[in-house]
Amino acid sequence: MNSFQRVMTTLSFKEPDRVPLFLMVTMHGAKELGMSLNEYFSSSGNVVEGQLRLIKKYRSDCLYPFFYAALEVEAWGGEVMFFEDGPPNAGTPFIQSYNQIKNLKPPQIKNNPVLQKSIQAIARLKKIVKDEVPILGIVMSPFSLPVMQLGFDRYLELIYNYPDEFEKLMVVNMEFCIDWANSQLEAGATAIGYFDPVSSPTIIDKETYLKTGFKIATQTIKKIKGATAIHLASGRVLPVIKELIETGTTTIGVSCLEDIEQIKKACFGKLTVLGNLNGIEMRRWSATYAEAQVKQLIKQAAPGGGFILSDNHGEIPFQVSDEILLSISEAVHKWGNYPISNF
Amino acid sequence: MKNIDNLVQDLERSLLVMDKHACEELIKTVIHSYSVDEILGDLFVKTLGKIGQGWEDGTYSLSQVYMSGRICEELIDKVLPAAQIHLKSQPKTAICVLSDYHLLGKRIIYSSLRASGFDLLDFGHGLQVDDLVKNTIENEIKILMISTLMLPSALKIKSLKEKLINTDVKIVVGGAPFFFDQNLWKEVGADAVGFNGKDALDIINRYS
């Protein structure tokens, strides 16, 4: 089986030849090319070459030409800070007053050089791998993007205290998100990762989620012209599993904070589970410990299909060594062949 | 008049649904039966502590923790007589975000401590190690509370500790990297780690 077939089989809740591995490495491409992160992310060509080297090195099952979360804010004209040792971050929020919201207009994908870098990376990868390897496009959900647009504290106050302005912001953000997702699919992305940490019960109470993030995800995903995977970026999912299923997504990225066996049981037949190695702790794992973690995860979550092994956040820290990433890959190849042995 | 534990339950219930009016009414009814110090030190501390613990064990959300702290801060300014608020005696304390711009954790702890009657300096965010060393020494800080969201920011604390090694400053850390790797605070040389307002309070009291 090639990677595409492997992933499609597990998404059908059948057992492929091996557990698919989605190693969400973004910045490690810079290491492969011997570049600074700033230089690496300045060109789609670098990201293409980086991703091709990474998938070959780690024998994983997806291409992940995700630049960084703050790319969308950069496209809107916001400030981005680059670091030597970590992902670029959004700087000072560009919405300084709630009054700005009524005049907000989203960036146009076709004319935006920042977004076009991502589009070009996807298109070039598609030309190379065709339909043999899934290519993941990424969007920040309309409900989570405002953390960078406004700042987290001011966004929470908007949600609870300024409902009219909140609704206006969601309309603008939904328009952008749908356009951005569909542009990536048109360029050749196989599916869209819908990053929505604010929807997690870790961040927002369920009552508010039902009135906001859930509705927004359902409406947005309906208009995305391809498969999606909702990722709550280390946030808990179990209290809202039923609602996540109802959004129409096919896959859910899950946290190391929850019992993956319980999640798999709740999801089987409805959502494929993606996760849930602890990326923060991974930095100090030994090769032996990494293998044990992978083995345990496969035992708990792999039987029956409907599972893709990955980290719990959707982006592996730059500080995680190649040695550990190789250990994870080797463990998946050693222990992840179906049928899963009774180990 | 209800006892403090019953009042904690009532206040918790109102804070979790962000009913500012109910919270204000509750404080107005107790203000004649309890001293301001009891309201801050017992009622607010216990209630915010319960909510913070609830977040850690997955019962409550971060938005409820943040908004609860904000509501209590507003109540102090609006309802409690300023003249009767005796700020607690504590070692000079400052809070900041190291390297990045993720402010929510800092805001939560700041609100929680202010609502509990503590005073602390806010050094802001996006600070680099050398800026923070300078601010800490110039302001004669004894307890430095550092919030981080990003792992690279958390790892910089090691360098901060090395530069403050000849001082008696206690470095207290918090934020997602420390939550997901429970050994990280020791690795970077911090003196303590906390995940909510109650932890921050306990740590300040420990060093007082």
Please tell me which of the candidates A89, A201, A280 has its beta carbon nearest to residue B151.
A280
Interatomic CA distance for residues B197 and B205, integer angstroms: 12
Backbone region of residue A193 per phi and psi (left: phi > 0; alpha: psi in -120 to 50; beta: other values): beta
B97 touches B147 (CB < 8 A): yes
The answer on pLDDT for B82 being more than 80 is no
Using the beta-carbon criterion (under 8 Å), do B60 and A205 form an inter-chain contact? Answer: yes
Q: What is the pTM of this model?
A: 0.95
The answer on pLDDT for B87 being more than 80 is no
Interatomic CA distance for residues B39 and B121, integer angstroms: 23
B169 touches B200 (CB < 8 A): no
- Model pLDDT, residue A161: 95
pLDDT in tens, B97-117: 998 888 899 999 998 888 888
Nearest CA in chain B to A319: B152
- Model pLDDT, residue B32: 83
The answer on pLDDT for B39 being more than 90 is no
Q: Which fold has domain A3-335?
A: TIM Barrel (3.20.20)
β-partners of residue B152 are: none
Average pLDDT for chain A: 97
The answer on pLDDT for B1 being more than 80 is no
The answer on pLDDT for A108 being more than 90 is yes
What is each CA distance from B97 to A80, B154, B175, in whole angstroms? 17, 10, 10
- Model pLDDT, residue B86: 65
Which segments within B15-142 are labelled E, that is strand?
93-98, 121-127
pLDDT in tens, A50-105: 999 999 999 999 999 999 999 999 999 999 999 999 999 999 999 999 999 999 99
Q: Which of B22, B9, B48 is nearest to B201 (CA)?
A: B48
Of the residues A68, A205, A263, the best mutation for testing chain B's interface (the one with the most B CB atoms within 10 Å of its CB) is: A205
- ∠ CA(B128), CA(B131), CA(B134), 5° rounding? 150
Task: Tell me the mean pLDDT in the region A162-185.
Answer: 98
Interatomic CA distance for residues A266 and B171, integer angstroms: 42
Task: Tell me the mean pLDDT in the region A208-214.
Answer: 98
The full length of chain A comes to: 343
Structure tokens at B87: 């700020």
Residues of A in contact with B183 (CB under 8 A): 284
The answer on pLDDT for B89 being more than 70 is no
Using the beta-carbon criterion (under 8 Å), do A160 and B67 form an inter-chain contact? Answer: yes
- Model pLDDT, residue B42: 85
Interatomic CA distance for residues B49 and A312, integer angstroms: 28
What is the residue extent of each domain of chain A? Answer: 3-335
The answer on pLDDT for B81 being more than 80 is no
What is each CA distance from A314 to A194, A206, B176, B184, in whole angstroms? 11, 23, 15, 21
- Model pLDDT, residue B84: 63
Question: What is the band of B25 on the pLDDT scale with cuts at 50, 70, 90?
Answer: very high
Distance from CA of A152 to the nearest CA of B (A): 6
Task: Tell me the mean pLDDT in the region B168-194.
Answer: 96
- Model pLDDT, residue B77: 83
Task: Tell me the mean pLDDT in the region A42-46.
Answer: 97
The answer on pLDDT for B88 being more than 80 is no
Residues of A in contact with B58 (CB under 8 A): 201-202, 236, 257
Distance from CA of A239 to the nearest CA of B (A): 10
Using the beta-carbon criterion (under 8 Å), do A152 and B103 form an inter-chain contact? Answer: yes
- ∠ CA(B149), CA(B150), CA(B155), 5° rounding? 115
Reduced to 3 states, what is the DSSP secondary structure of residue B87? coil
The answer on pLDDT for B60 being more than 90 is yes
CB < 8 Å & 24+ apart, contacts of A155-159: A155/A198, A156/B63, A156/B66, A156/B67, A156/B104, A157/B67, A157/B70, A158/A98, A159/A204, A159/A208, A159/A212, A159/B63
DSSP state of A82: -
Interatomic CA distance for residues B17 and A271, integer angstroms: 31
Question: What is the band of B170 on the pLDDT scale with cuts at 50, 70, 90?
Answer: very high
pLDDT in tens, A247-259: 999 999 999 999 9
Of the residues B173, B180, B182, the best mutation for testing chain A's interface (the one with the most A CB atoms within 10 Å of its CB) is: B180
- Model pLDDT, residue B37: 80
CA A303, distance to chain mean position in Å, is: 23
**Whether the predicted interface score ipTM is above 0.95:** no
Nearest CA in chain A to B58: A202
A15 touches A338 (CB < 8 A): yes
Task: Tell me the mean pLDDT in the region A146-171.
Answer: 97
Using the beta-carbon criterion (under 8 Å), do B58 and A236 form an inter-chain contact? Answer: yes
pLDDT in tens, A288-320: 999 999 999 999 999 999 999 999 999 999 999
The answer on pLDDT for B78 being more than 90 is no
Using the beta-carbon criterion (under 8 Å), do B152 and A91 form an inter-chain contact? Answer: no
The answer on pLDDT for A198 being more than 80 is yes
Please tell me which of the candidates B61, B107, B187 has its beta carbon nearest to residue A203.
B61
Residue type, A179: D
DSSP string, A280-337: HHHTT--HHHHHHHHHHHHHHH-TTS-EEEEESSSS--TTS-HHHHHHHHHHHHHH-B
A237 touches A244 (CB < 8 A): yes
Please tell me which of the candidates A236, A281, A319 has its beta carbon nearest to residue B180.
A281
Task: Tell me the mean pLDDT in the region A23-44.
Answer: 97
The pLDDT > 70 percentage for chain A reads 100
Of the two residues A270 and B31, the one the predictor is more confident about is A270
